[in-house]
């Protein structure tokens, strides 16, 4: 029995638009609701969300019963962090603050077993192999791993060809908030210079044959981003959506 097929990876490789939502509430019930809402993927955010290993595990378990594919954004791309999250059963991982080709290569190696990488061997004890039930997990896992390298600085944009061209990188995700701040326009990702950098990155990522990703909280931008070539499209986050819905409901109070 091989590792489960990562349909998000295969759909991105085929150029199919995959839409999703950020999960920052650190709650398996919220994750399950989001997973049944109609998104292709749900991203458990351990960089800015209050998620630790047990909370990531509980949300992976909740999402396993839904149509949505699970993605985990780790807080940092260190080998031991990636190893733990992979052993939990995550197959698609976003690594933040990837600035250079060597940064991307290190993450790609950390996520794959020897032969293609340096991932530590512990599958027999891990949820990823169903605790040893998937006897061919080690032999087949590398093919199902999906690495999303997050670029969010001027340095990363300058190195976009090297990052996108790195073997083992499946998708390059542009972080508009941090990118705009690093370019001198904090809180203003719509600034023309930032938008030009984003457009340049999307063009170079897709030219390298990799999926381009980004997030927007403005539904009016979704179609335009897809037309530019984005295929990993974040459509907002659970906390922000909950806030808006609750405020809208409260505004209809008769008192």
Confidence of residue 255 (pLDDT cuts 50, 70, 90): confident
* Residues with catalytic function: 48
Model pLDDT for residues 102-122, shown as the tens digit of each residue: 999 999 999 999 999 999 999
Confidence of residue 1 (pLDDT cuts 50, 70, 90): confident
Q: Which residues are CB-neighbours of 143 under 8 A, at least 6 positions away?
A: 3
b/e code 204-224 from CB counts within 10 Å (16+ = b): bbbebebbbbbbbeeeeebee
Instruction: Report if residue 27 sits inside a domain.
Output: yes
Instruction: Report if residue 255 sits inside a domain.
Output: no
* Angstrom distance (rounded) from CA 198 to CA 227: 14
Which pLDDT belongs to residue 153?
A: 98
* pLDDT at residue 65 is higher than 90: yes
Instruction: Report if residue 127 sits inside a domain.
Output: yes
Q: Which residue has the tokens 């984003």?
A: 198
Which pLDDT belongs to residue 47?
A: 97
Model pLDDT for residues 132-177, shown as the tens digit of each residue: 999 999 999 999 999 999 999 999 999 999 999 999 999 999 999 9
Instruction: Report if residue 219 sits inside a domain.
Output: yes
Instruction: Report if residue 1 sits inside a domain.
Output: no
Number of domains making up the chain: 1
Which CATH number do you get for residue 38? 3.20.20.60
* pLDDT at residue 23 is higher than 90: yes
For 51, the domain range is 7-250
Confidence of residue 215 (pLDDT cuts 50, 70, 90): very high
Within 10 angstroms of residue 250's Cβ, the number of other Cβ atoms is 8
């Amino acid at each position: 029995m091989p590792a489960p097929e990562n349909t998000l990876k295969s759909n991105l490789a085929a150029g199919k638009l995959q839409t999703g939502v950020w999960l920052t509430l650190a709650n398996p019930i919220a994750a399950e609701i989001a997973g049944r809402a109609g998104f292709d993927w749900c991203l458990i955010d351990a960089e800015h969300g209050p998620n630790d290993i047990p909370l990531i595990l509980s949300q992976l378990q909740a999402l396993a019963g839904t149509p949505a594919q699970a993605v985990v954004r780790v807080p940092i791309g260190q080998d031991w962090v990636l190893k733990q999250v992979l052993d939990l059963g995550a197959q698609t991982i976003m690594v933040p603050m990837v600035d250079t080709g060597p940064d991307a290569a290190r993450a790609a190696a950390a996520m794959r077993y020897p032969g293609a990488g340096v991932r530590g061997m512990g599958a027999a004890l891990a949820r990823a192999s169903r605790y040893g039930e998937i006897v061919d997990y080690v032999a087949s896992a590398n093919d199902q791993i999906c690495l999303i390298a997050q670029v969010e600085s001027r340095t990363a944009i300058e190195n976009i060809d090297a990052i996108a061209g790195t073997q083992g990188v499946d998708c390059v995700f542009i972080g508009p908030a941090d990118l705009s701040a690093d370019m001198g326009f904090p809180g203003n990702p719509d600034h023309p210079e930032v938008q030009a950098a984003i457009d340049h990155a999307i063009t170079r990522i897709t030219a390298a044959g990799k999926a381009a990703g980004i997030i927007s909280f403005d539904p009016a931008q979704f179609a335009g981003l897809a037309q530019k070539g984005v295929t990993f499209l974040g459509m907002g986050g659970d906390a922000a959506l909950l806030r808006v819905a609750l405020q809208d409901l409260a505004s209809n109070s008769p008192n």
